[in-house]
Amino acid sequence: MAPAVPALRRPIVSLHRTPPPLQNLRRHSFSPIPHEEPCDPPNSSATLLSRAAALLNFAAQPSHLSQIHAILLSSGLLRCFPSLSAKLFSSSADLDLIQEARHLLDEIPRPSVPLWNAAIRLHSRHGAFADALHIYDKMLHQGVVPDGLSLPPVLKACGGLPAPTVGRAVHAHILRRGFETDLFVQNGLVAMYAKCGQIPCARAIFDRLSDRNVVSWTSIISGCAQNGFPLEALQIFARMRSSSDVRPDFIALVSVLKAYMDIEDLDQGSSVHGLVIKLGLDDEPDLVITLTAIYAKCGQVRTARSLFDRVPSPAVILWNAMISGYAKNGHASEAVELFREMIARHIKPDSVTIRSAILACAQLGSLEVGKWIEDYAGHSQFKDDIFVKTSLIDMYAKCGSIAHAHRVFECIPNKDVVVWSALIMGYGLHGRGREAIRLFEEMKCARVRPNDVTFVGLLSACKHAGLVDEGWKYFHSMRHYGIEPRHQHYACVVDLLARAGRLEKAYEFVRSMPMEPEVTVWGALLNACKIYGHVGLGRYAAERIFALEPSNAGHYVQLSNIYASVGMWSDVAKVRVLMKEKGVTKAIGCSLTEIDGKLHSFRAGDKSHPRYKEIFEKLAELEMKLKKSGFVPHMGSVLHDLSMEEKEESLCNHGERIAIAFGLISTAPGTTLRIMKNLRACVNCHSATKLISKLVGREIVIRDINRFHHFKDGLCSCGDYW
DNA sequence: CACTCCATAT
């Protein structure tokens, strides 16, 4: 069978014009391969053969190689000189041309062991594990005896399979062949078992090693770190430091940092940073990437950025670490900005970059920037990437346009469970629970199996829409799918029960949980207690929360609101004192709105905007209209009795309303206003906005920290429960 | 021979 030869755009003669190989060839005058005589030589074949053999040494680009391949085929040389096939094979392997190498291997009558090894290594290195194993199998079937270099890539391929079955067979094979003393093979075994999740096996082999080099230690450490055992990884690293004089190299430290990243221990992580510097490895690109990632992931974006900035031309992965670090830690605009800088510098993003940039847009909440990124992704080579599409669905939902999210969804040919879950979650965010349920049912009809995240989406959709009975039913259907409910699921049910006013039942439900309730669960109870003014239970839930998460200001505010709703002012004051004692400060309320592709941010009584005079005129007009139609501030008495904290709350209302006023004067009548805020919607503001939507005949879409509120004709999509 | 960045979750 002839190997596939790519179509040539230019005539073959152009090869002879390609300067470097030919010039080199003339200068060095390579001798022809002596012992092989052409069987039926075409014209001047000896010259061609010598040139071809030499050219292969210089084939530095796939296009060179395929042209040489074409010459050899069309001239008949390949058929006459089998040695050229082997040479062609090695060149293809060196250039990572897997397909080409694979075809050539089949053409070679009796490949040597190094040739087999090269073929296995090539496939293994590129993740073509099944192919690598297939080639190994074929080698054995031809009676070829593998050497010590054959097995490490075979083991690597076994490690890429989900089950250790094949790996065990190869292990047995190794013992039979007597390779068990080869350190490289041993290291390969350790890594293989660790990757298949067989950590005890990996450790057993590692422990029995009489001689351990840096790769042995690295294999077991990274095996643990990469497979969900960060603590074991760190424990072994400690043993490496104390009981051996093997110096960790950059790869070992990358894995150690990854383990600290997983347990989010930045303190220890930065002490490893110290070690990195001490060992003089701080310019090692992979370590810079991992260090940047750990700082960014733990919220130290400035430190991460300073590492990033020290690198003159960062690799794509480093850009990714920085961009996703920004996106995940509330620095969405920096993430988008950095992504733009990357494009401006003509650095080609990969699919991870694009996904991180889309995530940043989702956090940013700007529909305009969101459309821009979709356009960008649509023109990239990742336009059909299901991961990219999934994040677009999430992004559009979080940017307030469920219609856009649905459009992306519709265009995905083979929707997997994550795609469905993302849209279900999106409908839930917008309070459209019925549609979320319909989607869920459609998904089941499409024979896609829901997972635990699907149920988080579905139950939170029921929660946001107040579909109590449906939520209860779906919660209990989880077990039919063999899904064990987790905290988020319990939290949704607690919320649903409490919403229906069944606080006692909700508490009973919390007590019946098979695990220790976490903040989300108590938080749901606390929220409901605020709605129903249930002081006793609210206080209890708050105490549990404070024990678990003492520095989150939102919880203190909730408790304070419960006291306020029933007029317990002295307790409100006590909460304030408690906050001061613990050094907890409330996040400053901030509302954003986007006009003509530009984001405008408004804070407490903000007068910094260039058009603030017009804005405040509009605001006064709105206040008057509200008063005229009988609007009474809901928490008037609260404001009267409280100082700092509630004042802030009231100012936050202003911030939101300033954004509305600004939107009204900046857009054509009837345009939907879109506003994002960093806190949850507050009662006073919420009822005012409902009325405003009616008074000015506008649809107002507000994204708070938890969900969307669609205000229209005096009503809100949340049904006044959030 | 060993390694880093990654979509869906209150």
- Which tens digits make up the pLDDT trace of A370-390? 999 999 999 888 888 999 999
Rounded CA–C1' distance between A566 and B7, in angstroms: 44
Domain count of the fold of chain A: 3
Mean pLDDT lowest for which of A251-260, A336-345, A392-401, A576-585? A576-585
pLDDT at A18: 31
Question: Does residue A187 lie within 7 Å of nucleic acid chain B, judged by its CB?
Answer: yes
Within-domain flag for A186: no
More confident residue, A60 or A195: A195
Residue A597 has pLDDT above 90, yes or no: no
- According to the model, what pLDDT value does residue A327 have? 92
> Considering only A59-63, A360-364, A534-538, A695-699, which range has the smallest mean pLDDT?
A59-63
Mean pLDDT of A174-191: 87
A191 touches strand B (CB under 7 A): yes
Choosing from A109, A135, A157, the residue where a domain stops is A109
Residue A224 lies in a domain: no
Q: How many angstroms separate the CA atoms of A701 and A396, rounded?
A: 14
In the structure, how far is the CA atom of residue A359 from the C1' atom of nucleotide B7, in angstroms? 9
Largest CA distance in chain A: 105
Q: Is the CB of A147 under 7 A from strand B?
A: no
- In whole angstroms, what is the distance from residue A527 CA to residue A511 CA? 17
Residues spanned by the domain of A83: 1-109
Tell me, what's the pLDDT at A341? 93
User: What are the tokens at A372?
Assistant: 């821009």
Rounded-to-integer distance, Cα A367 and Cα A386, Å: 21
A22 touches strand B (CB under 7 A): no
Q: Which two tokens stand for residue A221?
A: 């450490």
Cβ of A362 less than 7 A from strand B:
yes
DSSP A17-46: H-HHHHHHHHHH-PPPPTT---SS--TTHH
Does the nearest atom of strand B lie within 7 Å of A461's Cβ?
no
Whether nucleic acid strand B comes within 7 Å of the CB of A600, the answer is no
Give the residue, A276 or A85, on which the prediction is more confident.
Answer: A276
SS (H, E, C) A237-298: HHHHHHHCCCCCCHHHHHHHHHHHHHCCCHHHHHHHHHHHHHCCCCCCHHHHHHHHHHHHHC
Mean pLDDT (chain A, rounded): 83
Say what the pLDDT of residue A22 is. 29
Nucleotide nearest to A121 (CA to C1'): B1
Give the burial class of A564: count Cβ atoms within 10 A of its Cβ; 0-12 exposed, 13-18 middle, 19 or more buried. Answer: buried
Residue A564 has which token pair?
A: 């306020």
Share of chain A above pLDDT 70, in %: 88
Among residues A264, A353, A345, the alpha carbon closest in space to that of A312 is found at A345
Nucleotides in chain B near protein beta carbons (<7 Å): 1-10
Residue range A98-148, pLDDT digits in tens: 777 777 777 777 888 888 888 898 888 888 888 889 899 989 888 888 888
- Position A358 scores a pLDDT of 94
Whether A23 has a pLDDT exceeding 70, the answer reads no
Q: What is the pLDDT of residue A44?
A: 61
Closest nucleotide over all strands to A216 (CA to C1')? B2
Question: In A 241-280, which Cβ lie closer than 7 Å to strand B?
Answer: 249, 251-252, 254-255, 258, 261
Burial of A125 (0-12, 13-18, 19+ CB in 10 A): middle
Query: For residues A696 and A625, what is the distance between their CA atoms, to the nearest angstrom?
Result: 10
- Specify burial of residue A288 (Cβ count, 10 A radius: 0-12, 13-18, 19+): buried
pLDDT (tens digit per residue) in A521-546: 888 888 888 878 888 898 899 889 88
Where is the domain boundary, A372, A388, A414?
Answer: A414
Q: Are A695 and A625 contacting, i.e. CB atoms less than 8 angstroms apart?
A: yes
Among residues A109, A136, A170, the one where a domain terminates is A109
Residue A164, pLDDT > 70, answer yes
Residue A244's pLDDT band (cuts 50, 70, 90) = confident
Predicted confidence (pLDDT) at residue A580 exceeds the cutoff of 90: no
Question: pLDDT for A482-517, tens place per residue?
Answer: 899 998 899 999 989 987 888 889 999 999 998 888
The Å distance, CA of A29 to C1' of B5, is 47
* Range of A2-11, A103-112, A123-132, A694-703 with top mean pLDDT: A694-703
Query: Beta partners for A674?
Result: A701
Would the pLDDT of A11 be above 70? no
Phi-psi region of A44 (alpha: psi -120 to 50; beta: other; left: phi over 0): left
Tens of pLDDT, residue by residue over A621-674, are: 988 888 888 887 665 434 434 444 445 445 445 678 889 999 999 999 989 999
Q: Which residues contact A122 (CB under 8 A, 6 or more apart)?
A: A93, A96, A98, A101
Using CA atoms, how far apart are residues A60 and A128, in angstroms rounded to an integer? 23
Helix A519-532 vs helix A487-499: crossing angle, to nearest 10: 10
Q: At what angle do helices A199-208 and A214-226 cross, to 10 degrees?
A: 170
Question: What is the number of alpha carbons within 13 Å of residue A248 lying toward its C-beta?
Answer: 31
Separation in Å: B1 C1' and A216 CA: 9
Q: Are A533 and A565 a contacting pair, CB within 8 Å?
A: yes
How many CB atoms are located within 10 Å of the residue A146 CB?
19
* pLDDT score recorded for residue A708: 87
Residue A322 has pLDDT above 90, yes or no: yes
Separation in Å: B3 C1' and A4 CA:
35
Residue A159 CA to its chain's centroid (Å) = 23
3-state secondary structure at position A453: helix
Nucleotide B4 C1' to residue A60 CA (A): 28
A217 within some domain: no
Residue nearest to nucleotide B10 (CA to C1'): A520
Pairing state between β A673-677 and A700-703: parallel
3-state secondary structure of A178: coil
Q: Over 50: is that where the pLDDT of A21 sits?
A: no
What CA–CA distance (Å, rounded) separates A522 from A526? Answer: 6
pLDDT of res. A459: 94
Domain assignment present for A187: no
A223 CB less than 7 Å from any atom of strand B: yes
Instruction: Output b/e per residue, A687-713; b: 16+ Cβ within 10 A.
Output: bbbbbbbeebebebbbbbeebbbbbbe
CA A468 to chain centre: 32
A710 bridge partner residues: A701
Q: Tell me what the mean pLDDT of segment A441-453 comes to.
A: 92
Round to a whole number and report the distance in Å from the CA of A637 to the C1' of B1: 72
Specify the nucleotide whose C1' lies closest to residue A261 (CA): B4
Look-up: residue for tokens 């006073």?
A684
- The answer, yes or no, to whether residue A181 has pLDDT greater than 70, is yes
Strand B contact with A153 (CB < 7 A):
yes
Task: Determine if strand B comes within 7 Å of the CB of A291.
Answer: no
Measuring from the CA of residue A422 to each C1' atom, give the nucleotide at the shortest distance: B8
Q: Are A297 and A278 in contact (CB under 8 A)?
A: no
Q: Which of A20-34, A254-268, A310-324, A562-576 has the lowest mean pLDDT?
A: A20-34
Is residue A289's beta carbon less than 7 angstroms from any atom in nucleic acid strand B?
yes
CA distance A693 to A35: 91
Residue A488 lies in a domain: no
Half-sphere exposure of A677 (CA within 13 A, CB side): 31
Q: Considering only CA atoms, which of A352, A370, A353 is closest in space to residue A361?
A: A370
Residues A143 and A295: their CA atoms lie apart, in Å, by 53
For A478-491, what is each residue's pLDDT tens digit? 999 989 999 889 99
Sequence-distant (≥ 6) Cβ neighbours of residue A512 within 8 angstroms: none
The nucleotide minimizing the C1' distance to residue A420's CA is B8
pLDDT given for residue A59 in this prediction:
63
Question: How far apart (Å, rounded) are the C-alpha atoms in residues A619 and A654?
Answer: 9
User: What is the DSSP annotation of A544-569?
Assistant: HHHHH-TT-HHHHHHHHHHHHHTT-H
A492 three-class SS: helix
Share of chain A above pLDDT 90, in %: 31
Asked, for residue A364, whether it belongs to a domain, the answer is yes
* C-alpha–C-alpha distance, residues A365 and A407, integer Å: 18
**Residue pointed to by tokens 């779906």:** A474
**How far is residue A573's CA from residue A595's CA, in Å, rounded to a whole number?**
40
Q: Which of A6-20, A103-117, A655-669, A708-722 has the highest mean pLDDT?
A: A655-669
- The reply to whether A478 falls in a domain is no
Whether A5 shows a pLDDT value over 60: the answer reads no
pLDDT the model gives residue A114: 85
Structure confidence at residue A254 (pLDDT): 92
Angle at A124 between CA A101 and CA A138, to 5 degrees: 65
pLDDT at A234 over 70: yes
Average pLDDT for residues A155-180, to the nearest whole number?
Answer: 86
Sheet strand arrangement including A708-712:
A598-602, A591-595, A673-677, A700-703, A708-712, A715-716
- Is pLDDT at A722 greater than 80 in this prediction? no
Lowest mean pLDDT among A21-30, A156-165, A228-237, A416-425: A21-30
For residues A707-716, average pLDDT:
90
Residue A96 inside a domain? The answer is yes
Q: Is the pLDDT of residue A239 over 80?
A: yes
